């Protein structure tokens, strides 16, 4: 697959999508979001892919935000169309049935931070910086920041980050639960690939059930979440991988999942 704003590669069941506008600090415009939707639609429907990684080219930024040069002269109707494009890509990534790992170096600001929130796991370098600076432009976050950030780290800290527009460093992001792990820059992709390889060895259908149940917990009330958990747990018993996992446990050997 060839894109104008992304790079794509696939190996050993792991897909790596790279934002590729380093000269623009990987600013997110309508083309980026359109191509993100396209590539992740392909990943979702590719049986060879078991885990996806989202990262970025260059040393300075994962994504420094939305492309203000594109947005500056848009009217309300044009912005509405642009936001629909963002929403389509973001919601699809969030709901992807395969585990998603965001690999973050440098700045993850505004739309860049919001894009990382669509992923399941976030690993960043010690040099990473996060923020929602939209308030400084007379705006509020519009790509999920007020919603996904709040659900992840809580209302009080989300309000602090969004109201002030200030950046936080990697250590603070880890403390808040915004990221799962912080590593040295030179170890970033190595660590991410180790995570991806570990997840690729699990059962894809069962991981999908786990993700569906957890996302429901985030997005709904307790009763709805528990009902979804019960449903997803039961569906696991319909997979060959569940039988393999239980057989392997009883036989005291490592399970070999076939992703079905």
pLDDT tens by residue, 81-125: 888 999 999 999 999 999 999 999 999 999 999 999 999 999 999
CATH number of the 204-250 domain:
1.10.12
pLDDT of amino acid 258: 85
> To the nearest whole percent, how much of the chain has pLDDT over 90?
73
Number of Cβ within a 10 Å radius of residue 260: 11
Whether residue 103 contacts residue 183, with contact meaning beta carbons closer than 8 Å, is answered with no
pLDDT of amino acid 21: 95
Judge whether residue 167 has pLDDT over 90.
Answer: yes
Number of Cβ within a 10 Å radius of residue 138: 6
Q: Is the fold of 6-200 the same as that of 204-250?
A: no
pLDDT of amino acid 37: 97
- Of 35, 134, 160, 251, the catalytic one is 134
Domain range annotation of the chain: 6-200, 204-250
Class of residue 133 by CB neighbours under 10 A (exposed 0-12, middle 13-18, buried 19+): buried
pLDDT of amino acid 177: 96
Tell me what the mean pLDDT of segment 5-15 comes to.
Answer: 95
pLDDT of amino acid 221: 87
Tell me what the mean pLDDT of segment 212-231 comes to.
Answer: 90
Residue 12: what are its φ and ψ, rounded to 5°?
55, 40
Tell me what the mean pLDDT of segment 56-65 comes to.
Answer: 93
Does 78 qualify as catalytic in the annotation? Answer: no
Mean pLDDT of the chain: 93
- The pLDDT tens digits for 29-51 are 999 999 999 999 999 999 999 99
Whether residue 3 contacts residue 29, with contact meaning beta carbons closer than 8 Å, is answered with no
Would you state the CATH architecture of domain 6-200? Alpha-Beta Complex (3.90)
Does 191 qualify as catalytic in the annotation? Answer: no
Whether residue 45 contacts residue 7, with contact meaning beta carbons closer than 8 Å, is answered with no
Model's pTM, two decimal places? 0.90
Question: How far is Cα 16 from Cα 76, in angstroms, rounded to an integer?
Answer: 35
- Of 44, 114, 175, 186, the catalytic one is 114
Tell me what the mean pLDDT of segment 156-174 comes to.
Answer: 97
Question: How far is Cα 35 from Cα 225, in angstroms, rounded to an integer?
Answer: 32
Local structure of 163: helix, strand or coil:
helix
pLDDT of amino acid 219: 85
Tell me what the mean pLDDT of segment 238-257 comes to.
Answer: 87
Tell me what the mean pLDDT of segment 140-165 comes to.
Answer: 94
pLDDT of amino acid 151: 93
Local structure of 17: helix, strand or coil:
strand
């Amino acid at each position: 697959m060839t894109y104008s704003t992304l790079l794509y590669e696939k190996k050993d069941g792991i897909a790596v999508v790279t934002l590729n506008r380093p000269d623009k600090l990987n600013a997110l415009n309508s083309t980026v979001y359109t191509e993100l939707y396209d590539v992740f639609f392909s990943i979702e429907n590719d049986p060879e892919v078991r885990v996806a990684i989202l990262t970025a080219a260059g040393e300075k930024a994962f994504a420094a935000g939305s492309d203000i040069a594109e947005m500056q002269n848009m009217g309300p109707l044009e912005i509405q169309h642009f936001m629909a494009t963002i929403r389509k890509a973001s919601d699809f990534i969030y709901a992807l049935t395969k585990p998603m790992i965001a690999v973050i170096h440098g700045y993850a600001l505004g739309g860049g931070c919001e894009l990382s929130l669509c992923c399941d796991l976030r690993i960043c370098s010690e040099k990473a910086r996060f923020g929602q600076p939209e308030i400084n432009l007379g705006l509020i976050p519009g790509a999920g920041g007020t919603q996904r950030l709040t659900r992840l780290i809580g209302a009080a800290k989300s309000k602090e980050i969004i109201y002030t527009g200030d950046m936080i460093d990697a250590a603070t992001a880890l403390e808040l639960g915004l990221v799962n792990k912080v590593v040295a820059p030179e170890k970033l992709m190595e660590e991410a690939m180790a995570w991806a390889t570990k997840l690729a060895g699990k059962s894809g259908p069962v991981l999908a059930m786990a993700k569906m149940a957890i996302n429901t917990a985030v997005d709904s009330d307790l009763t709805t979440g528990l009902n979804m958990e019960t449903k997803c747990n039961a569906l696991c018993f319909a997979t060959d991988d569940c039988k393999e996992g239980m057989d392997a446990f009883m036989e005291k050997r490592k399970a070999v999942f076939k992703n079905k």
